Structure 1
Amino acid sequence: MPDPASPAIRSDAPDVSATSATTKSTPAPSRLRTVIGTGVGNALEWYDWNVYAIFTPFFASQFFPSADPTSALLSTLAIFAVGFLMRPLGGLVFGRLSDRKGRRAAMVGSIALAAAGSLLIGLAPTYATIGVGASALLVFARLVQGLAHGGELPAAQTYVAEMAPRERRGLWSSLIYISGTCGIMVATVLAAVLSSFLSEDQLHAWGWRVPFVIGGLLGLYALIMRLRLEETDAFEKQADTPDRHEPRTSVWRGFWENRAACLRVIGLTLGGTVVYYTWAVSAPAQAISLKGIEASSALWAGVLANLVFLVALPLFGALSDRVGRKPVLYGSYIGGAVLAFPLNWFIQDQAWQLAVSMTTAMLFMSAGAAITPAVFAEMFPTRLRTTGVGFPYAIAVAACGGSAPYLQTWLTSNGQGDLFLGYTVVLLLLALAVVHRMPETKNTDLT
């Protein structure tokens, strides 16, 4: 853990609006810009990323040969996983940009790339038009979005954590997944509306393009909002008072000096990312493709579950500010491990079964998701905070998160779905072991 001898957020600051000699006050307009600028951009990132997962059943045959629908679906999900391979590079590139040039610069760059990738998918020609070139364009667009998303989440997490008052950092950190969930919900609602008003042939022919084009065009608004954001006090203090007698530490040395924190990030992320992408992202698509649940009903079940998730996030964030980070993390991972098998077995061929299982899983998931931005930020010093979180986080997500929908689909279609559930439980137990050994970080000063 970093030495708290020179806090970037004073331990005696009672509220976000408090004024001290070393920490400037944050007026209401600045707080509003922080929430909107960070939230809109982060929501659009998650919207772009998850539109792909939600609409996979509708456009898989547009980029791959349609003779074998299952093969086309698996190929499209494989590209979903390939996009995750760029996330460690994105975490490293945008993390260093954030730690050297500022949090705002990294967030502006990441949102621009994500929007460009979405627009490319929405306008790309199909396999019937240019053959394998369509598949190549899809891969390229997903790699661009993977690079962007690998930098967006850690930069946004760091920005929010550094802007928050120490005593409310857990509550403020829930903004990351609140805004991300709003992006997912918009994508899911749009999918449900389109599936309700368009025929299946229209969805496969052109309806799937609509959400990708919308995501690309909305990127301009997110860019304008982020250009108006202020830089954090923690970064500005570090930038204004460099140690001129000591060379700048390399990023790799920084990783080594903070190796315990980096390993904690990986350990906490592995199980959480599998659960998140299994339930919050791909569950409706899995229900449509493998369980035969009607498309619009499955998508509306996803909307309901995400509404519960959205309401629970700030409640668990505030709870962690009162009782500590570790008790909330314990509840999240224990609940996920205990319920993994029952919730999956409960889903048969009815949308209400999907809604019950998704809602329950995401309620427990929300406890961990709400506070991990605060927990991760509290592990690292300011000079390495974004990179220290972003790179190991992206490695964990690339290793297990991106492959989760593909692995689940492949195993389930071969009658071995319980193997995937066992794999999920093992990763959640690993996260519990990490929580048990980590120190409590509530009210930690950011140095």
Structure 2
Amino acid sequence: MSANTDSTRTAGPAVVVPSARRTLVSTGIGNAAEWYDWAIYATFAPFFSKELFNPADATSAILSTLAIFAVGFVARPFGGFVFGWIGDKLGRKTSMTLAVGLASVGSLLIGIAPTFGAVGAFASLVLLVARLIQGLAHGGELPSSQTYLSEMAPRERRGFWSTLIYFSGTLGIVAGTLMGAVLTGVLSKAQMAAFGWRIPFIVGAVIGLYGLVMRARMPETEAFEGIKEEAEAPGERRAPSLWKSIVEHRKQAFQVIGMTVGLTVIYYLWAVVAPTYAATSLKIDAGQALWAGIAANVVFLAALPFWGKLSDRIGRKPVLIMGAAGSALLHFPMTWLLRDSAWQLAVSMSVMLFFIAAGAAIAPAAYAELFPAHIRTVGVGVPYSICVAAFGGTAPYLQTLFTDVVKQPWLFNGYAVALIVVSILVVLGLPETKGKDLSS
């Protein structure tokens, strides 16, 4: 009997049996490692931009670093397709294991990259290759782990279980941010430039390898085992081709993009790059900005299970709409609050992340509930990765460009709010899928 069935036998407070606990921990630690790898790039960009790019122009160096942050997202749709195919054909567990292993390779490459002063533009090339590798891995990680967790969860608690994706991911982000705060506190600026920025990337590679071992020991989901048995049964009708299945479910693919477009931009702005933006564009002390980011992400962690449980009670659509509407209404006021101090950053991030948590908490469940089992991983992975690449990946660069170069930050903020409105309109047209059977 699989973990999702065992875990439903509870009386009073939920008790997770060992098999389910291993499933949650293995999924969570691998996901945390991937998000850690992804987030420390933004956290440590101010420190290594002058080391891997021409240090003569500081503004150009940071913009180039953020541009490669965006380029890394280009690989995500390919990762969504490749790892989605692996997840739907070879198993969710196989896809997740390969993804976390590849991400650790990308992190190691950044950690040992030569400097611009030593090898010139080759240093920038190494960084680009590493980010493309991480983009490929991260493009496969999220849809694979989202599908796996949604299929393993009891249907009546799927919204709550799905919060593990962003909960564990945020722990990875907080770990990276905390490391940044600690390192900037104990190392001088010269030491951070010389070697301090390398430490978190090497640590990320080690964590990723540990996650790979844990995931290799996980059970496969019953939904995938059912697909496999059906495909191997004599006389059974062959499953439709991958491309035919993608075309048949194009409506759901566009719904994934519509649901994601607002969430991905607003999430990356407030959860990932806000401390870096505060330090580089608003000139808030870098160490204080990192600590403010940690405090706000604790609020986010607390809000995730609240929204997940609420969606299991009242449905996915009301929660998605409440979170998006709150984010849209408060984005401008919170950007006006954020001026020149760390406490302003902590308050504005906390308020925004409380509402952003609504979509982040239940998006994995909502995505999985849109597709049948035989196309679920790639059906989510490709449109999700395309959307994140096109909108989430470019958000930090556009924000810096409109703030520091164009000097019209309101244009970018209006763009972010408009995308949230798009997501609200798409969610209004979705069917309610709470409690849907994912076995077929």
TM above 0.5, yes or no, is: yes
Q: Pick one of 144, 156, 161 that aligns with 1:167.
A: 156
Deviations 1:62-85 (A, max 9, x none): 111001101000000000000000
2:266 maps to what in 1? 275
Q: Pick one of 198, 203, 214 that aligns with 1:209.
A: 198
Give the superposition deviation at 1:245: 4.4
Q: Is the 8 A contact 1:87 1:150 kept in 2?
A: yes
2:52 maps to what in 1? 63
Q: Does residue 434 of the first structure (1) align with residue 426 of the second (2)?
A: yes
1:409 maps to what in 2? 400
Q: Pick one of 39, 53, 68 that aligns with 1:50.
A: 39
Q: Is the 8 A contact 2:230 2:236 kept in 1?
A: no
2:183 maps to what in 1? 194
Q: Does residue 240 of the first structure (1) align with residue 229 of the second (2)?
A: yes
2:411 maps to what in 1? 419
Give the superposition deviation at 1:247: 3.3
Q: Pick one of 117, 128, 137 that aligns with 2:117.
A: 128
Give the superposition deviation at 1:251: 1.9
How far apart, in 1, do the equivalents of 2:315 and 2:152 lie?
A: 20
1:3 maps to what in 2? none
RMSD: 1.6
Give the superposition deviation at 1:260: 1.4
Q: Is the 8 A contact 1:78 1:406 kept in 2?
A: yes
Deviations 1:17-72 (A, max 9, x none): 49xxxxxxx97111111111000000000000001011000100111100110100
Deviations 1:326-353 (A, max 9, x none): 1101111101111111111111110000
Q: Does residue 79 of the first structure (1) align with residue 71 of the second (2)?
A: no
Tell me: CA distance 1:137–1:14, structure 2 relative to 1, closer, same or farther (3 Å). Answer: closer
Q: Is the 8 A contact 1:9 1:166 kept in 2?
A: no
Q: Secondary structure in 1 aligned to 2:239?
A: coil
Q: Pick one of 300, 315, 320 that aligns with 2:311.
A: 320
How far apart, in 1, do the equivalents of 2:329 and 2:306 lie?
A: 22
Equivalent runs, 1:337-356 vs 2, <5 Å:
337-356=328-347
4+ residue segments displaced more than 4 Å: none
Q: Does residue 329 of the first structure (1) align with residue 320 of the second (2)?
A: yes
Give the superposition deviation at 1:252: 1.9
Q: Is the 8 A contact 1:15 1:167 kept in 2?
A: no
Q: Is the 8 A contact 2:323 2:359 kept in 1?
A: yes
Give the superposition deviation at 1:15: 6.2
Uncovered stretches (5+) of structure 1, i.e. residues with no partner: 1-7, 19-25
Q: Secondary structure in 2 aligned to 1:241?
A: helix
Q: Is the 8 A contact 1:62 1:128 kept in 2?
A: yes
2:8 maps to what in 1? 16
Q: Pick one of 273, 281, 285 that aligns with 1:290.
A: 281
Q: Is the 8 A contact 1:39 1:179 kept in 2?
A: yes
Task: Give the TM-score, by structure 1 length.
Answer: 0.94
Q: Does residue 226 of the first structure (1) align with residue 201 of the second (2)?
A: no
Q: What amino acid does structure 1 have at the position aligned with 2:422?
A: L
Q: What amino acid does structure 2 have at the position aligned with 1:429?
A: V
How far apart, in 2, do the equivalents of 1:339 and 1:219 lie?
A: 36
1:5 maps to what in 2? none
Give the superposition deviation at 1:250: 2.0
Return 254-263 or 312-321, whichever deviates more: 254-263
How far apart, in 1, do the equivalents of 2:34 and 2:241 lie?
A: 29
Q: Secondary structure in 2 aligned to 1:125?
A: coil
1:32 maps to what in 2? 21
Uncovered stretches (5+) of structure 2, i.e. residues with no partner: none
Give the superposition deviation at 1:256: 1.6
Give the superposition deviation at 1:219: 1.7
1:444 maps to what in 2? 436
Q: Is the 8 A contact 2:3 2:19 kept in 1?
A: no
Q: Is the 8 A contact 1:9 1:234 kept in 2?
A: no
Q: Is the 8 A contact 1:46 1:184 kept in 2?
A: yes
Give the superposition deviation at 1:134: 0.4
Identity over aligned residues, as a percent? 54
Q: Does residue 152 of the first structure (1) align with residue 141 of the second (2)?
A: yes
Q: Pick one of 107, 112, 116 that aligns with 2:101.
A: 112
1:306 maps to what in 2? 297
Give the superposition deviation at 1:246: 3.0
Deviations 1:93-131 (A, max 9, x none): 000000001001001100011000001100010000000
1:22 maps to what in 2? none
Q: Is the 8 A contact 2:7 2:20 kept in 1?
A: no
How far apart, in 1, do the equivalents of 2:32 and 2:98 lie?
A: 15
How far apart, in 2, do the equivalents of 1:428 and 1:154 lie?
A: 21
How far apart, in 1, do the equivalents of 2:382 and 2:410 lie?
A: 31
Q: What amino acid does structure 1 have at the position aligned with 2:398?
A: L
Q: Secondary structure in 2 aligned to 1:441?
A: coil
Q: What amino acid does structure 2 have at the position aligned with 1:256?
A: V
Q: What amino acid does structure 1 have at the position aligned with 2:420?
A: L
Tell me: CA distance 1:27–1:196, structure 2 relative to 1, closer, same or farther (3 Å). Answer: closer
Deviations 1:253-295 (A, max 9, x none): 1122111111110001111000111111000000000101001
Q: Is the 8 A contact 2:76 2:385 kept in 1?
A: yes
How far apart, in 1, do the equivalents of 2:276 and 2:172 lie?
A: 17
How far apart, in 2, do the equivalents of 1:15 and 1:126 lie?
A: 50
Tell me: CA distance 1:9–1:229, structure 2 relative to 1, closer, same or farther (3 Å). Answer: closer
Q: Is the 8 A contact 1:16 1:164 kept in 2?
A: no
Deviations 1:405-431 (A, max 9, x none): 000000011211111111111110000
Deviations 1:130-174 (A, max 9, x none): 001100000000000000000000000000000000000000000
